[in-house]
Structure 1
Amino acid sequence: METYNQQSVNSFQAPRRQDSFKDTALGLVSTSSFPAIVGTADMMLKSAGVHLVGYEKIGSGHCTAIVRGGIADVRLAVEAGVQTAEQFGQLVSSLVIPRPFPNLDVVLPITNRFSQLIEESNYSRLSNLAIGLVETRGFPAMVGACDAMLKAADVHLAAYEKIGAGLCTAIIRGSVANVAVAVEAGMFEAERIGELNAVMVIPRPLDELEQTLPLASCWIEQRQPLKLPLNIKEKEQVAEIEVLQLPDLTKVPIKIKEEVWHEE
């Protein structure tokens, strides 16, 4: 009886460093465009209590959103993500991994590195704004779409993303109305120049979604130390600077003592 109890105690005292993996799962949904994966990730975050780990881009336009959370939440989030990707006509594949081993986190790019993407000393001036994405096949079409969007509404070009196969996505930020107007203008210009592949407007992005999106360095500000005004009383009189003038040594007479030599 004592042996049984001791075994029971030992079983309950198993290393708990794996507890964090015991009841969690990884969810992956892959699409064939970057705007589609951002919209899919947004829906996954809003449909269940999961965390967005980040994206993995493997070329040829394939992008995968990776989420983590409780097993039930991840299954629900992946289901919502699949439905969203299918609506966009961009679904490639999906996967749910219950109770992943710790080594899977070490080897694959699915760690919590994205949670530290924005350091405490940096912050985004574009946070809490709507997101607009216009994806084209070909760089000239994307540049033309960017120009049209910036001229059509009060939006900011945050960055652009390349995912291979000639696909590149312009990412703009602004109010919901301005982003919607700008994306429409960008669509027409992209179709006029080249090939439009996908578009997306996300009105209210969550913080986790924002932290995983690329952001141009011009929109990252370094926190500056607080500068307090100092009341310094100005002097009424300016101190005079005395210039020490050295005499001209060429004009100073030099007396040389003459010595008389006597012959013996």
Structure 2
Amino acid sequence: MDRYDPYMDKALGLISVQSFPAIVGVADMMLKSSSVELVGYEQIGAGHCTAVVRGGISDVRLAIETGEEVAAQFGQAISSLVTARPMPNLDEILPIGSKLASLISGRERNRFRDHAVGLVETVGFPPMVAAADAMLKSADVSLSAYHKIGAGLCTAIIRGSVSNVAAAIEAGMAEAERVGELHSVMMIPRPLDDLERAMPLAECWLQELQPIRMPVNLEDQQQERELQPLEIPETVPVEIPAAAEQQQPMEQVAKMDLEYEPADPTPPAYEPAAAQAAPPPEPETYEPVKYPAPQAEPQAQPPLKRQPMEQPADPLD
């Protein structure tokens, strides 16, 4: 048994009818009426189809009650079961959990996702082929698969828009009754994800996940290159010219620059001889700056004594 089973400790609900379109319609109503998960369909032959749902005990009971009401509209024998907590040994042996879900994994990835579903079931293979041909010619629909459940019952499954599927089913019913016997029909405008995963689908419509192509193929290993010894080039003697021969071109260029004089139509201005033979100026001399010597601080003088002021003589005396 797997280490983790998503259906462990969940209630089990089973409901069985003798028609594939009927069991698909019953499963659709059970999924939309309560919070249950459709594990898949178990078919034992003779037209008996069983829908397997898992979830909480209250949700499973509500789903089975709704499924019985829908199945009663087909006028067929109905058998149902609700188990609160099946033993792990049942999940390991019987197709009521992960074992059944693994058989239908990957069908939800197809081009018909979110398209309406139409099912036409006939007694015998020729009426089913005639009905499928009429449906494809009467409306813009695609034949996604056909399904057999035993007892001579064959079902053609078409996908498309709601209006096209409805028109195709009417044409298929008329053609099936003309050729043979029509058993049951069903139309589901918007199937849920669980119903989409459990719906039969031809292999040509399956879309397998492709691995991401890397820009570099890691599997292809590049061959390592062997190191080759470097070849030392042969030594060739080189004659170095004399220094005079190397400087000769530069001296010729300098001589050409000196010989070139631009044409000046104006004669040179007259300059006196004194100005021409002026002696060069003598360089200026600077005497060092003499700073005065620092003076001694003045000594503190004793305070002056106050002398008594003489009174002037009185002239009247």
TM-score (norm 1): 0.74
Whether 2:81 is the aligned partner of 1:95: answer yes
**What secondary structure does 1:124 align onto?**
coil
Higher-strand-fraction structure: 1
**What secondary structure does 1:184 align onto?**
helix
Query: What is the one-letter code of the residue matched to 2:133?
Result: D
Contact 1:29 1:64 in 2 (8 A): yes
The 5-angstrom pairing of residues 1-40 of structure 1 reads 21-22=8-9, 24-40=10-26
Contact 1:31 1:63 in 2 (8 A): yes
Superposition deviation, residue 217 in structure 1 = 1.1
**What secondary structure does 2:109 align onto?**
strand
Take 2:143 and 2:84, find their aligned partners in 1: how far apart are those partners? 39
Take 1:173 and 1:215, find their aligned partners in 2: how far apart are those partners? 11
Contact 2:136 2:143 in 1 (8 A): yes
Distance 1:224 1:107, change over 3 A: closer
Whether 2:165 is the aligned partner of 1:164: answer no
Whether 2:214 is the aligned partner of 1:212: answer no
Q: Which has the higher contact order (CA 8 A, sep 6+)?
A: 1
Q: Which residue of 1 aligns with 2:128?
A: 142
Higher-helix-fraction structure: 1
Contact 2:92 2:99 in 1 (8 A): no
**What secondary structure does 1:28 align onto?**
strand
**What secondary structure does 2:144 align onto?**
strand
Contact 1:114 1:211 in 2 (8 A): no
Q: Which residue of 2 aligns with 1:50?
A: 36
Whether 2:49 is the aligned partner of 1:59: answer no
**What secondary structure does 1:64 align onto?**
strand
Query: What is the one-letter code of the residue matched to 1:220?
Result: L
Superposition deviation, residue 98 in structure 1 = 1.0
Deviations 1:79-136 (A, max 9, x none): 000000001223421111111111111111112245553449x820111101000000
> For structure 1, which runs of at least 5 residues remain unmatched after alignment?
1-16, 229-264
**What secondary structure does 1:222 align onto?**
coil
Take 1:158 and 1:19, find their aligned partners in 2: how far apart are those partners? 29
Take 1:18 and 1:193, find their aligned partners in 2: how far apart are those partners? 48
Query: What is the one-letter code of the residue matched to 1:181?
Result: A
Take 1:191 and 1:43, find their aligned partners in 2: how far apart are those partners? 28
**What secondary structure does 2:126 align onto?**
helix
Take 1:169 and 1:119, find their aligned partners in 2: how far apart are those partners? 22
Deviations 1:119-163 (A, max 9, x none): 49x820111101000000000000000000000100000001100
Distance 1:109 1:147, change over 3 A: same
Q: Which residue of 1 aligns with 2:61?
A: 75
Contact 2:11 2:83 in 1 (8 A): yes
Q: Which residue of 2 aligns with 1:257?
A: none
Query: What is the one-letter code of the residue matched to 1:142?
Result: M
Take 1:63 and 1:87, find their aligned partners in 2: how far apart are those partners? 16
Deviations 1:32-77 (A, max 9, x none): 1000000000001111000001101111111000100000000000
List structure 1 runs of 4+ shifted beyond 3 angstroms. Answer: 17-22, 113-120, 222-228
Q: Which residue of 1 aligns with 2:137?
A: 151
Contact 1:115 1:211 in 2 (8 A): no
Superposition deviation, residue 182 in structure 1 = 0.5
Contact 2:7 2:98 in 1 (8 A): no
Take 1:225 and 1:60, find their aligned partners in 2: how far apart are those partners? 42
> For structure 2, which runs of at least 5 residues remain unmatched after alignment?
215-317
Whichever of the two has the greater Rg, that structure is 2
Contact 2:34 2:60 in 1 (8 A): yes
**What secondary structure does 2:143 align onto?**
strand
Distance 1:167 1:224, change over 3 A: same
Aligned equivalent of 1:188, options 154, 174, 192: 174
Seq. identity, %: 64
Aligned equivalent of 2:110, options 124, 129, 145: 124
Q: Which residue of 1 aligns with 2:185?
A: 199
Whether 2:61 is the aligned partner of 1:85: answer no
Distance 1:186 1:105, change over 3 A: same
Contact 2:37 2:53 in 1 (8 A): yes
**What secondary structure does 1:123 align onto?**
coil
Take 1:212 and 1:18, find their aligned partners in 2: how far apart are those partners? 19
